[in-house]
Amino acid sequence: MKIAAVRCVEYTGTMDHPGAFWEERLIRPVDVYPHFAAQGPEYLPPSAPGSYRMTSIFVHIETDEGVTGTAGPIRGDQAYLVLTQIAPLLVGQDALATEYLWDVMYRYLVHGRKGVPMLALSAVDCALWDLRGRHFGVPVHVLLGGPTRDSIPAYASALGYSLETDSARERAAELVGQGFTAMKWFPRHGPVDGKAGERATIALVAALREAVGADVDIMVDAWMSWDVPYTLRMAQRLAEYAPRWIEEPVLPDKPAAYAEIARRMPNGIEVSGGEHEYTRWGLHQLMAAGAMHIYQPDTYWAGGISEMVKIATLASAYDVRLIPHGHSVPANANLSFALPPTLTPLLEYLVKWNVINQWFLEHPVHPVDGQVSPPTQPGLGMDLDQDKIEGRRELAFT
């Protein structure tokens, strides 16, 4: 079965949503500069009151036997690389030879070991796994030796929700009511925000703990925007609210800083990260440094299903956990159901991003009572919902 064509198509549709979809955003490393810090949560402005124009790009890999693999959504800069750099490597090749194709892409994109080219490679690898599953008529977790269990608890990532304490308290209780036993929140404040920022983060976590009670896990994501002393001080001050982990306190280029945080974290609080690191080699450097307790590479960013299997093997050898970042729940669910619960105890579910990232999917994977079941669709279940598609435009770059 040969690859006949690689296409990137931009689909558009309409989502009805009363009020602002994004109420708040996360802190970013660049927010140390005031004019960046002042920017609001403008990821997705409404196109009309109560109505949002949805735009997603998917990559489709077609074969001479009529089987097509799909991955997405991807960004425009990834699509550019897929079409101009990667597609010529794939057309005419054996569509099932994923290890060969991964190695060819990796060796060809020598400036692409990290960052956007690796995101493009990752999406192509996921499309090839979708194709492979469709060819054999089974979900990818079955191809990988799963399922390892009947369900996986999802944790709710509350990115985009207001951080006002009353609102956060209400949302946290709603998430518990939906069956979630763990949730992650994203404070807006870091070292440059001084004592007032520290107080705001502590008030947020205190309100969350009050809302969810003692038995629900709360996690805090600093999105690479804290530093070592700030993280250790915040961990000490937050310890009475028993956060399960503090995520990405610093940029992934600082394994020694992570290792110091991991060694000195108080009261059993763990440190997690790695969603902005790539491939077995990047993750291995962090693991060898003892940087984290929990590693969170993204299946759609770190090298695709093929590479995540290798990263999972490394994580098991280092006896750390692998809880992939949640860009694609269908991909992560298929991977996670092929890994043991000791290695991958949780699945990330970004509540708002999943409205967007799974908008055009006919078979989106959502938790029920806080649990995700083994996917049943062939491949990665990437059929698009034709009823949601109002427009389509095939991308081409010359």
Q: How far is the CB of 157 from Mg ion (least distance, A)?
A: 7
**325 counts as catalytic:** yes
Spatial distance between the Cα atoms of 339 and 324, rounded to a whole number of angstroms: 12
By beta carbon distance, the residue nearest Mg ion is 221
Q: How far is the CB of 327 from Mg ion (least distance, A)?
A: 11
Spatial distance between the Cα atoms of 180 and 374, rounded to a whole number of angstroms: 18
β-partners of residue 16 are 51
Cβ atoms of residues 232 and 262 within 8 Å: no
Q: How far is the CB of 75 from Mg ion (least distance, A)?
A: 18
Spatial distance between the Cα atoms of 334 and 319, rounded to a whole number of angstroms: 21
Spatial distance between the Cα atoms of 274 and 288, rounded to a whole number of angstroms: 13
Phi, psi (rounded to 5 degrees) for 161: -80, 150
* 62 is a site residue for Mg ion (CB under 5 A): no
* Contact string (CB under 5 A) for Mg ion, positions 183-222, x = contact: --------------------------------------x-
Helix ranges (DSSP H) in 65-164: 76-81, 87-90, 98-108, 116-136, 140-143
Closest to Mg ion by CB, 26 or 44: 26
Q: How far is the CB of 63 from Mg ion (least distance, A)?
A: 35
E strand or H helix at 286, and its extent? helix 279-288
Spatial distance between the Cα atoms of 147 and 155, rounded to a whole number of angstroms: 19
Closest to Mg ion by CB, 27 or 81: 27
Closest to Mg ion by CB, 62 or 221: 221
* 222-261 positions binding Mg ion, by CB under 5 A: 247
* Contact string (CB under 5 A) for Mg ion, positions 101-140, x = contact: ----------------------------------------
The number of residues in the chain equals: 398
Closest to Mg ion by CB, 24 or 221: 221
Closest to Mg ion by CB, 247 or 260: 247
Q: Of the residues 141, 276, 325, 327, which is catalytic?
A: 325
E strand or H helix at 321, and its extent? strand 321-322
Residues with catalytic roles: 325
Q: Which residues bind Mg ion (CB under 5 A)?
A: 221, 247
